[in-house]
Homo-oligomer: A and B are copies of this chain.
Amino acid sequence: MNLPPLVQSFVLHFGEMGSRWGINRTVGQIYALLYVSPQPLCADEIVEALGISRSNVSMSLRELQAWNLVLLKHLPDDRRDFFTTPDDVWQILRTLAEERKKREIDPTLSVLREILMQKPGNDDERFAQERMAEMHGLIERLTTWYDDVKQLDTDRLAMLLGLGSRITKLLEAKDRIVSIGRRKPAAREREE
């Protein structure tokens, strides 16, 4: 590996974290490298920079494309493929959230739904099904919320995050806010 020390630390860290993030070392390293590169890189430049085989680069880039984490670019009069990452970090965040949901949440949601359709054969199965219903309910709430939030444009999303601890005051005032939506005064849902 032949990289400026500062970049090398970053790339190596992404490689090490790879397994915790559900990708492998090479995929992590390539992503990190592309992320901090001022220009798009072609496969051979990645081979050169990371000191790994050409075929590994090919497969790893394919994996990154499956995650929608890299962009394919073409330079005039050059038929090689060049790769970058999107440069808006908010966009990267959205993609990451979406892809992880697809891989880590959705399959479980669908298994749960399927099991919940079945009829329990005894008390233990009934109990198990109730537990699964609780899990299913929670995941549904979370994903519904996520589906709403991801519609927000970046400014609004930043605003939501920026709200920070003031979120509490906002929730205290929820009734009033909700009533704007309904155009009618709302009944208090919970008192302090």
Q: How far is the CA of A135 from the CA of B14 in the complex (A)?
A: 13
List A76-118 residues whose CB lies under 8 Å from chain B: 89-90, 93, 103-104, 107-108, 111-112, 114-115, 118
Q: Can you spell out 28 A-B residue pairs with CB atoms less than 8 angstroms apart?
A: A4-B124, A6-B121, A6-B125, A7-B124, A9-B114, A9-B115, A10-B132, A13-B107, A13-B108, A13-B111, A17-B107, A20-B103, A20-B104, A21-B22, A21-B104, A22-B22, A35-B135, A36-B132, A38-B124, A38-B128, A141-B161, A142-B161, A148-B164, A151-B165, A152-B167, A156-B171, A159-B171, A169-B177
Q: Which residues of A contact B (CB under 8 A)?
A: 4-7, 9-10, 13, 17, 19-22, 35-38, 89-90, 93, 103-104, 107-108, 111-112, 114-115, 118, 120-125, 127-129, 131-132, 134-135, 137-138, 141-142, 144-145, 148-149, 151-152, 155-156, 158-171, 173-174, 177-178, 180-181, 189-190
- The residues of B that contact A168 with a CB separation of less than 8 Å are 151-152, 156
Cβ-defined partner of A166 (8 Å) among B21, B125, B181: B181
Rounded to whole angstroms, the CA-CA distance of A104 and B132 in the bound complex is 27
Q: Which of A9, A111, A174, A177 neighbours the largest number of chain B CB atoms within 10 Å of its CB?
A: A177
Instruction: Please state if B170 and A10 are interface contacts (CB–CB under 8 Å).
Output: no
Q: Is the CB of A7 within 8 A of B160?
A: no
Contact yes or no, A161 B145, CB < 8 A: yes
Q: Shortest Cβ distance from A172 into chain B, in angstroms?
A: 8
